[in-house]
Chains A and B, each alone.
Chain A
Amino acid sequence: MTLDIILQAAIGGLLMGLIYALVAAGLSLIFGLMDVVNFAHGELMMIAMYAAFVLWQVSGLDPLLLLPIVVVLMFGLGMGVYRGLIARALSVRFNRGMVQIFVTFGLAIFIRGAAQFCFGGEFRSITTGVVANRTAEIAGVFLPLPQVAASLVCLAAFAGLLLISRTEFGHALEATREDRDAVALIGIDRDRIFALGWGLGAAAVGIAGVMLATFYYVSPNVGANFAITAYVTVALGGFGSLGGALVAGLLIGEVEALTALVLEPSLKQVGMFVIYLAVVLFRPRGLFGTL
């Protein structure tokens, strides 16, 4: 195993890590806001991937150009899911924790079935685009451009989330996160904040999905594969912490890539699982978790 190979894997891990970070950020946002773990998060990403695929197939446009459209769609979808489903789940007075878990699980299964219904189980992929199938070489390390572009976009999206957190809306989000019962007293419409929070979370994972679709297969089960990585990332970074999602995402991406080298590729997730369990047993709230 040469240094080249290790470096290659390490950089690849960083790139993927940024994507994981963005997916986790959306999840963390929603949880931080209203104590709901969205078990359909992976499926939301899958919807974004299919949306990108369909739009690309229909228009032939580069996925990067389709990004804004999908983001808006996902934002609306997130708000719709909140209004139609989650708001109802939150008002349940019985077994609330379990209801949330299983409502979003049911949604996940439903979406997966719907995807299969609409598109069948075959793997699809986006094959053209400005960065598709191109690789750059820097100092002996091969960087597939789709992955690079994806990670840069995700990094930008992350920066965007950070910017938003400094706006008034962001402050309202933070206030609602800290004391969701008291915010009504200062004129914050909690329901609206929740809906917008869901929209934002869905938009974030939507961005990740579109970028992922430029180099990863699109299929009904792709969400499930990334979902568990997302949950581990959020739990590792700490629910409710944006910075934690970034750090954890990068860490998980690295661990995954290096584990694939050391063990075999099919076991690449074992590394991140072990790290996750180790951290969470000593710091139950994750690395930076406040909830």
Chain B
Amino acid sequence: MDNSILRRRRTELVGGATVLLALAVLPLPIGDVYTQNLIIITILFAGLAQAWNILGGYCGQISLGHALYFGFGAYVSTLLFVRLGIPPAFGMLAGGAVGGAGALLVGWPCFRLSGHYYAIATVVVGEIGWLLFLNWDYVGGATGVYVPFKGDSWVALQFRTAKLPYHYLVLGFAAATWIAAFLIEGSRWGFAWRAVKDDFVAARSLGVRIFPSKMAAAAISGFFTGMGGAIYAQYVGYIDPDSVMAGALSILIPLPAVLGGVGTLWGPLIGAAVLIPVSELSRSYLGGSGRGVDLMIYGALIMVVALVRPQGLVSLFGRRRGGADARAA
């Protein structure tokens, strides 16, 4: 039996493999560190946005406090390394686990809140986390924590001599999030969430049960976000509440998904590919003077895309899904 669903899935898989391959060879001819760094950050945020997308885009729970899980992952992995000597290759998983647990804890009471109330609750929870970590000496407080360098190694996820290994690390991370989104999209949950978004009453009458799947979405999203935090910690070598838990990061994480197209497979990637270089470049060239031009460009970009292409940039590349464009027309 062949149908449009299977065809689309096949195309997506082929596309995904192609993009993965392309990104794998992309850094090889590039020599300058600045560009390499830019690519790494872009891919990292593509993965983070995709992780957010699972909860916020597919499942429809717009979390504006995701930096909390990112920070959990960064701190757990780093502190395990610093205090117990546990290498970040494992710490990364622990960080993910704590991130996922955090998301479950937040989701369980908060999922009953609707739209705006939920968003604000996530903001508040994120702020609490940031404030607590800022004032908690055990985790370094405002001073932060330095990641000790113990030599290049994949177990310790540290490489001082080259950026290339980091590139493949984040690429693997982003690929994992993409695969998770791909699997969810075609799963019972993916269908359930779309049905609920389209017509809540009809979905209910067909027996669609929402709460357990929301919790699962939260756990998966939180897990990958935490993992991303751990990877970031290893990449940058230093963490503090402002860099891994702040509200600004909570806004940055979903932004590529929003720009690119929430609830789509490619949206977060396209969004990151546009947003991160634009914001990084404008910050480097224009923001250094502290004159805020980069913020203006950033803000304007968000407004323009949100208004002009609410379906996200991904809709520029052809039909999203049967009926979606027709409904938006």
Binding site for B on A (CB under 8 A): 31, 35, 37, 85, 88-89, 92-99, 101-103, 105-117, 120-121, 220, 224, 228, 231-232, 235, 239, 264, 266-267, 269-270, 273-274, 276-277, 280-281, 284-285
Decide: A106 near B302, CB < 8 A? Known: A228-B123, A273-B128. Answer: yes
Residues of the A chain whose Cβ atoms lie less than 8 Å from the Cβ of B291: 116-117, 120
| A98, B296: Cβ atoms closer than 8 Å | no
**A220 to B148 CA separation, bound complex (whole angstroms):** 36
**A280 to B112 CA separation, bound complex (whole angstroms):** 10
A-B contact pairs, 18 of them (CB 8 A): A37-B119, A93-B328, A94-B311, A94-B328, A101-B116, A101-B119, A106-B306, A107-B299, A112-B292, A112-B295, A113-B294, A120-B291, A228-B123, A235-B121, A269-B127, A269-B131, A277-B121, A280-B121
Decide: A31 near B117, CB < 8 A? Known: A105-B302, A107-B303. Answer: no
* In the complex, the 5 A-B pairs of residues with the closest C-beta atoms, listed nearest first: A113-B295, A116-B292, A110-B299, A106-B302, A109-B299
Is residue B109 within 8 Å, beta carbon to beta carbon, of the partner chain? Answer: yes
| A106, B300: Cβ atoms closer than 8 Å | yes
| B116, A239: Cβ atoms closer than 8 Å | yes
Residues of the B chain whose Cβ atoms lie less than 8 Å from the Cβ of A266: 131, 134-135
Instruction: Determine which of A96, A109, A235, A274 lies in contact with B120 in the assembled complex, contact meaning CB atoms within 8 Å.
Output: A235
Nearest chain B CB to A288 CB, angstrom units: 14
Decide: A97 near B306, CB < 8 A? Known: A106-B299, A116-B292. Answer: no
Main secondary structure of the interface of A (DSSP, over half): helix
Chain B interface size range: 35 or more
**A216 to B62 CA separation, bound complex (whole angstroms):** 33
| B258, A98: Cβ atoms closer than 8 Å | yes
Decide: A105 near B114, CB < 8 A? Known: A112-B292, A117-B291. Answer: no
**A115 to B114 CA separation, bound complex (whole angstroms):** 33
Besides A37-B116, A102-B306, A111-B299, 18 new A-B residue pairs in contact (Cβ under 8 A), listed by A number: A93-B327, A102-B258, A108-B299, A109-B295, A109-B298, A112-B292, A113-B292, A116-B290, A116-B292, A117-B291, A228-B124, A228-B247, A231-B124, A264-B135, A269-B131, A270-B128, A284-B112, A284-B113
Decide: A267 near B303, CB < 8 A? Known: A94-B328, A99-B310. Answer: no
**A106 to B297 CA separation, bound complex (whole angstroms):** 10
Nearest chain B CB to A210 CB, angstrom units: 23
Residues of the A chain whose Cβ atoms lie less than 8 Å from the Cβ of B274: none
**A269 to B291 CA separation, bound complex (whole angstroms):** 29
| A114, B121: Cβ atoms closer than 8 Å | no
Residues of the B chain whose Cβ atoms lie less than 8 Å from the Cβ of A89: 306-307
Residues of the A chain whose Cβ atoms lie less than 8 Å from the Cβ of B247: 224, 228
Residues of the B chain whose Cβ atoms lie less than 8 Å from the Cβ of A107: 299, 303
Nearest chain B CB to A1 CB, angstrom units: 20
Residues of the A chain whose Cβ atoms lie less than 8 Å from the Cβ of B293: 113, 117
| A267, B294: Cβ atoms closer than 8 Å | no
Nearest chain B CB to A119 CB, angstrom units: 9
Nearest chain B CB to A93 CB, angstrom units: 5
Is residue B184 within 8 Å, beta carbon to beta carbon, of the partner chain? Answer: no
* Closest chain A residue to B197, Cβ basis: A95
Residues of the B chain whose Cβ atoms lie less than 8 Å from the Cβ of A111: 299
| A273, B124: Cβ atoms closer than 8 Å | yes
Nearest chain A CB to B320 CB, angstrom units: 10
| A95, B262: Cβ atoms closer than 8 Å | yes
**A95 to B324 CA separation, bound complex (whole angstroms):** 11
Residues of the B chain whose Cβ atoms lie less than 8 Å from the Cβ of A232: 120, 124
Nearest chain A CB to B229 CB, angstrom units: 22
Residues of the A chain whose Cβ atoms lie less than 8 Å from the Cβ of B132: 267, 270
Residues of the A chain whose Cβ atoms lie less than 8 Å from the Cβ of B262: 95, 98
Residues of the B chain whose Cβ atoms lie less than 8 Å from the Cβ of A88: 307
| A117, B128: Cβ atoms closer than 8 Å | no
Decide: A117 near B311, CB < 8 A? Known: A97-B62, A106-B306, A232-B124. Answer: no
